[in-house]
Amino acid sequence: MDCTHIRIRSPGGDDAERFRNRKGYFSLNVQGLYGDSVLLVDAGYPCRSYLMPPLVAPASNVVERLFGSWKRRFPVLAVGINVKLDNAFPIIVATAVLHNILRRAGEELPQDDPNLNLVAPWNALLEEGNVNPQVNNDFYGVNAAVRQRLINQYFHSLIE
């Protein structure tokens, strides 16, 4: 589980500033999940009885890479969705569904379009949208005991 920012135009009105993120642009914070059995999260999330961060911070995050390939397949997610806010939600969901269908079908990512007028290099666009809060995971304290108990219960259930 992780989050990414999808750039949108200002929704206008009295609540517009609620959509401005810490980097100064308007966005929707979209949460993504990978897998469907144990809720694995990256090292930016705290260890809880319902969240399992890695024992050691990995070099790269599966969900962040998934967000990157999703945004490369549908550049509007990285460059910005220029529609009314109510129309942005179904676009985001539709592109996620289509991306998952294509991924499961083994479809490769399309080549970068040289005619695409990006506002910044791909790496900068993809990095800009990633949300990675600095959270103290307490690797050796109470949360570590919770994580170890979850690990023990899971592997014990495999041998029963």
Sort 26 into a burial class: Cβ within 10 Å, 0-12 / 13-18 / 19+. buried
pTM (two decimals)? 0.61
Across 66-75, b (16+ Cβ under 10 Å) vs e yields bbbebbbbbb
pLDDT tens for the 160 residues of the chain, in order: 677 889 899 999 999 999 999 888 899 988 776 665 556 666 777 777 767 776 665 545 666 777 888 888 888 888 889 899 999 999 999 998 899 899 889 888 777 666 666 666 666 666 665 544 444 445 555 666 776 777 777 677 777 6
Sort 88 into a burial class: Cβ within 10 Å, 0-12 / 13-18 / 19+. buried
| Locus of tokens 């999330």 | 45
* Cα dihedral: 57, 95, 88, 82 (round 10): 100
For residue 8, the enclosing domain spans 2-159
- How many domains, the chain? 1
Per-residue confidence (pLDDT) for residue 66, from 0 to 100? 78
Per-residue confidence (pLDDT) for residue 10, from 0 to 100? 92
